[in-house]
Amino acid sequence: MLKISRYLVGILFIISGLIKANDPTGFAIKLEEYFVVFGMEWLSFAALTLSVLICSLEIVLGVALLFGIKPKPVAWLLLLMIIFFTWLTGYSAITNKVTDCGCFGDAIKLTPWQSFTKDVILMVFITYIFVRRSEIQASFGKKTSAAILTLASVLSIFFGVYCVAFLPVVDFLPYKIGNNIPELMQVPEGAPRDSFETRMYYEKDGKTEVFTMQNYPWQDSTWRWVKTESVLIREGYKPKVKDLHISDAEGNEYTEDVLAYPDYQLIVIAYDLPHSNRSAFKKINELSAQLQKNNKVRTLGLTATNAEQVQALARELNTPFTFYFCDATTLKTMVRANPGVILMRGGVVVNKWHSNALPAYDEFVSELKN
């Protein structure tokens, strides 16, 4: 039973850590949500660093548990982590303030109650491991064990940093290459819709009771109506892309124009233009100008920065294209870069790049021919 518990917990920690390390920026966004909930916004500056370190710690602990390396400190760390995460997911489930814990990134979405249940089950296995930690035997000698831990630490941190500097190795986001965005915005015919219940609050003799449309005391004048509210009792189908709204500085909608454009278009994503990589714009500008001149590929920018700043920064960066406006979270979902570039055609994502890995013009043209 001890070996089964070790393998189960160890493999789960490694998988969870790898999935999150594949997209540290996404996990950092989730950490920032928790910082806001607990009034710790001052920690937001360190969210990305913490994201990489937490993912690495999960992987290293999983590896250590599998090979029986330093069982006592590892058991203590696992117990402390699962106590904290069980409390955190329990709080999220009760308050519903964070609707997705981010335990498995965007690969596997769990509801707050599913996350809490998962942690409670893990708590049982980890507690068992903790109680019997002195019985765990190392699979290798001290030098080999130290080498394994060092290698796991270095590789996991390198992997996380690589995915920040470029893009996730495996893209689980709705704007991944090959996806048809207009289709992902649609609700299929016959799909279940949100189901609501009308609840009415009435007061009598100092007590307030809740009624439905079927049993509210409409004939009893001794009851005093307090309020009526509509409560979601069952969620319906949710399209994978539901928050995409593109507009100009005056608020005019351009979403359909962008998604329905039949030819190739280059979309430059800079959700936070003032803090974007300025040097990357030189290459983006050159690429945009060449594509427009030789291949008639139109370019547009998307940002969540306010219009006044955009106007000034566009002049400073000398961008040969117009910036439109979109929600910051949506832009971060499109591409995990600031700036990043997406090539689209007819609403389909053809390819995407981080600003650190922009292709040369000749390489880009080959994308148009494929």
Series of mean pLDDT values for 10-residue runs along the chain (370 residues): 88 92 90 83 87 94 92 92 88 76 74 85 90 86 90 95 92 92 85 83 86 82 85 78 88 91 92 89 89 84 90 87 91 92 92 90 77
pLDDT number for residue 54: 93
Domains of the chain: 2-165 (no CATH), 195-234 (no CATH), 255-369 (3.40.30.10)
The neighbouring-strand residues paired with 344 are: 265, 349
With a threshold of 0.85, does the pTM exceed it? no
Which residues are CB-contacts of 308 (< 8 A; sequence separation ≥ 6)?
Answer: none
pLDDT number for residue 370: 64
Compute the distance between CA of residue 310 and CA of residue 337 in angstroms, rounded to an integer.
Answer: 18
pLDDT number for residue 217: 82
Compute the distance between CA of residue 23 and CA of residue 6 in angstroms, rounded to an integer.
Answer: 26
* SS3 (DSSP) at 50: helix
Compute the distance between CA of residue 154 and CA of residue 160 in angstroms, rounded to an integer.
Answer: 10
